Structure 1
Amino acid sequence: MPTPSEHTRLQLELYLQIRAEAAWPQLAGLHVRHRGQYAYVEGELADGERLKLMRLRYTGTASRWGFALHDPAGDRYQDALLPTGSHSGTPEDALDTACHLHLTTLNS
């Protein structure tokens, strides 16, 4: 079970922040917490509320991470497929998938 280096963790946070700013104006910010091979990502709304979005699992490369969505009903993370049909992909694809699910359901 590999764990990401400090450089890889910072790179992940930068990639996610850039994507959030470019594609998800509903988010005032992102918060990433690292624990072992996992990165837990929360989105912050304009009113300060935080939403648990996803968990990423380091696979040994900075460009491909395992993906799990946060399930608010059970307050847990569940492995999920990206639109590519894979359980792993780029951090940006993972963020887009999680935000599409969590942020569009807020506006419904």
Structure 2
Amino acid sequence: MPVPAKRLKDLVEGTVDHRASQTHPTLQEITIRWRGGFGYLSAWAGEGNDNDEQIRLCRIEYLGGDPWGFALYDPATEGYTPAVLVTCGVPEVGLGLSPGLMRRSGQTA
């Protein structure tokens, strides 16, 4: 499995966090925890202190270029369900599709 370079990880993290600040301004931040070629995205909601709520969103998978693999987090199973991004395979697009963020912001799928 290919592993993204640090520069690419930093680029993805910055892009995802920036897009989240524009589309979900009530969130404190989006973080990505990297394990090999997988990036696990979590949102942080709250007042910016130790009581913030962590919302698991999705998993992205670096496939060695474009596109990326994508899976939504399912709280019922505490696992990830593979999904297909029809529009394009860039990680920040999946941010708006996460059920956790939609519930938090009052949107529906």
Same fold (TM over 0.5): yes
How far is 1:104 from its partner?
2.4
Q: What are the equivalent positions in structure 2 for 1:1-108 lying under 5 Å apart?
A: 1-47=1-47, 48-61=52-65, 64-84=67-87, 89-98=89-98, 101-106=99-104, 107=106
Q: CA contact under 8 A between 1:53 and 1:69: conserved in structure 2?
A: yes
Whether the aligned pair in 2 keeps the contact of 1:82 and 1:97 (CA below 8 Å) is: no
CA distance in 1, matches of 2:22, 2:67: 20
Query: In the aligned structure 2, how far is the partner of 1:65 from the partner of 1:81?
Result: 10
Q: Provide the identity percentage.
A: 33
Displacement, 1:42?
0.2
Gapped regions of structure 1 (runs ≥ 5): none
Shift of 1:49: 0.2
Amino acid at match of 1:9: K
Report the CA distance between 1:2 and its aligned residue. Answer: 0.7
Shift of 1:83: 4.8
Preserved contact between residue 59 and residue 70 of structure 2 (Cα < 8 Å): yes
Gap runs ≥5 in structure 2: none
| CA distance in 2: counterparts of 1:81 and 1:64, whole angstroms | 10
Q: Give the whole-Å Cα distance in 2 for the aligned partners of 1:92 and 1:30.
A: 11
Runs of 4+ in 1 over 4 A off after TM superposition: none
Q: Measure the CA separation in 1 of the matches of 2:15 and 2:55.
A: 19
